[in-house]
Amino acid sequence: MTCILRGLPDLIDKEFMLNLPDSFIQIVSLTFDEGAAWLARLPELIAACEARWGLTAQPHFPGLSYNYAAPATLPDGTEIVLKLGVPRHELTTEIEALKLYNGRAMCHLLDADADRGVLLLERLQPGHMLTAVSDDETATRIAADVMRRLWRPLPEHHIFPSVADWTADLAELRTQFDGGTGPFPARLVDMAESLFADLVASSAPPLLLHGDLHHYNILAAEREPWLAIDPKGVAGEPAYEVGALMRNPLNLHEWPDREVVTARRLDILAEELGLDHQRLLAWSFAQEILSQWWDYVDTNSQPNMWLAECLAGMME
C-alpha cells in the first residue's frame, strides 16, 4: 500500500485510503486519467452525498474494482447502496439503463447525479451472488431467466453504445503490436476478428442488453428470487449477452470439469433462450478474446487462453 499511496496527491486522506483495497486504488489510478485525483476527493464526495440525501454511509463492500460501493441508510431507515465512480460515459449509460429497466429484473435506481458519478441504488436482500449456487446447471438456468426478463426494446433516441462499437476495440490489439498479436495467439485473434465481422453484419435487431451479466452481477432478492445489478447498457442482439456468463466465475479456469461445464452451459442457454447454439458459441469465443484484450490493457495481465481454446475447439 505504501508505494501506491506515495504516487497519489499529497492532499489525499491517507487514513481513508488505508481502508481501501490496494487493487482498487491501483485499478482506478491506472485506468482513468483523473483516477488519482478522484480518489483524493472520494472522502469529500461521500460526505457531500451524506449531506445532500441525509444518508449515513457505512464501510465499503468487499471486492471493489472500478467503482466504490458501500451500504448506506436513508433518514427513514431504508437500506440502500451508495455507488460512486469516476464520472464517465459508462456510468451515464448505466444510469439510463437503470431508468429504462425501472426495477424489472434489476435493482431500482433511487436517485443519481451523473455529473458527479453518484448512484443511489436499491439494496437487494439477502443479496448473495449467483456464485453461491453450487450446481452450475441450476445457476445457468437462473441466469438465463434473468436475461429473458431484462431484454427490452430500445427507445428511438438513446445514448447506449452498440455491440459493434465494443467489438471495434479489438482493432487496437494489432495497433499495439505493430500489426502482430503480441502474447495473443494469432490463430485465435484471426478467428475473433472474422467472427465479429460476420456476427455484427448478420445481427438481429438490437435490444437493450445488460452488457456484463455474469455470476457476480446477479443477486438473490426478496421481491423477485434473482435480480441483476450494474448494467453497462448496450444495444445488441440477445445472443451477445451470454458471453460474460460463459467466462465466469473468475476461478472457472481452475475447475477440473471446466470443459464439460462450458459445453453444458451452451446447451442450456440455447435451450432456455431459444437461440442458435452456434451463434452463442461464436459470440462467446470472440468476446473472450476481446475480454482478454481489455484485461491486458487495464491491468497488463498476460492472457489466459484456456477458454478461447476450448470454445475454438467446439467450432472445429
The string of pLDDT tens digits covering residues 137-165 is 999 999 999 999 999 999 999 999 999 99
pLDDT the model gives residue 301 = 86
Instruction: Report whether pLDDT(17) > 90.
Output: no
Fold type of domain 134-315: Aminoglycoside 3'-phosphotransferase; Chain: A, domain 2 (3.90.1200)
Per-residue model confidence as pLDDT tens digits over 190-245: 999 999 999 999 999 999 999 999 999 999 999 999 999 999 999 999 999 999 99
pLDDT the model gives residue 316 = 83
Residue 50: all three cell numbers together: 451524506
| Three-class SS of the chain | CHHHHHCCCCCCCHHHHHCCCHHHHHHHHHHCCCHHHHHHHHHHHHHHHHHHHCCEECCCCCCCCCCEEEEEECCCCCEEEEEECCCCHHHHHHHHHHHHHCCCCECCEEEEEHHHCEEEEECCCCCCEHHHCCCHHHHHHHHHHHHHHHCECCCCCCCCCEHHHHHHHHHHHHHHCCCCCCCCCHHHHHHHHHHHHHHHHCCCCCEEECCCCCHHHEEECCCCCEEECCCCCEEECHHHHHHHHHCCCCCHHHCCCHHHHHHHHHHHHHHHHCCCHHHHHHHHHHHHHHHHHHHHHHHCCCCCCHHHHHHHHHHC
Instruction: Report whether pLDDT(12) > 80.
Output: no
Per-residue model confidence as pLDDT tens digits over 65-80: 999 999 999 999 999 9
pLDDT the model gives residue 276 = 98
pLDDT the model gives residue 79 = 97
Residue 186 CA, distance from chain mean position: 26
Q: Is the peptide bond before 225 cis (omega within 30 degrees of 0)?
A: no
Fold type of domain 2-122: Phosphorylase Kinase; domain 1 (3.30.200)
Q: Where are the domains of the chain?
A: 2-122, 134-315
The answer to whether 185 touches 305, Cβ cutoff 8 Å, is yes
Which runs of E-coded beta strand occur in 155-281? 207-209, 218-220, 226-228, 234-236
- Please, what is the angle between helix 258-273 and helix 136-150, to 10°? 40
Show Cβ contacts of residue 193 under 8 Å, excluding neighbours closer than 6 positions: 170
pLDDT the model gives residue 2 = 38
Per-residue model confidence as pLDDT tens digits over 80-101: 999 999 999 999 999 999 999 9
Q: Given pLDDT bands bounded at 50, 70 and 90, which one contains residue 34?
A: very high
Instruction: Report whether pLDDT(15) > 80.
Output: no
pLDDT the model gives residue 18 = 55
Give the CA radius of gyration of the chain: 20
Shared fold status for 2-122 and 134-315 = no
